């Protein structure tokens, strides 16, 4: 929390990994969704190859 304390004057918002894990939609440069909510990085097929909703469903 050193960074947050040092920048308190900027009103930073901090998050704990366990709280936000699995709550963001992330897309890599190859067009694959990915997440690590299971403790390891899981990738979908690329949205260039399959429907976006189908790819998103592959990673939950």
25 burial via Cβ count (<10 Å: 0-12, 13-18, 19+): exposed
pLDDT of 22:
67
Q: Which domain holds residue 26?
A: 2-58
57 pLDDT tier (thresholds 50, 70, 90): very high
Residue with tokens 């009103």: 11
CB count within 10 Å of CB 21 equals 14
Prediction pTM value: 0.65
Q: What is the pLDDT of residues 12-56, one digit of tens each?
A: 888 777 766 667 789 999 999 998 878 888 999 999 999 999 999
What is d(CA 28, CA 46) in angstroms, rounded to the nearest whole number? Answer: 9
Query: How many domains does one find in the chain?
Result: 1
**Number of alpha carbons in the 13 Å side-chain half-sphere of residue 2:** 0
């Amino acid at each position: 929390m050193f960074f947050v304390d040092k920048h308190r004057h900027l009103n930073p918002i901090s998050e704990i990994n366990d709280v936000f894990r699995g709550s963001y939609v992330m897309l890599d440069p190859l067009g694959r969704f990915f997440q690590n909510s299971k403790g390891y990085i899981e990738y979908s097929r690329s949205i260039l190859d399959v429907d976006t909703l189908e790819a998103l469903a592959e990673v939950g």
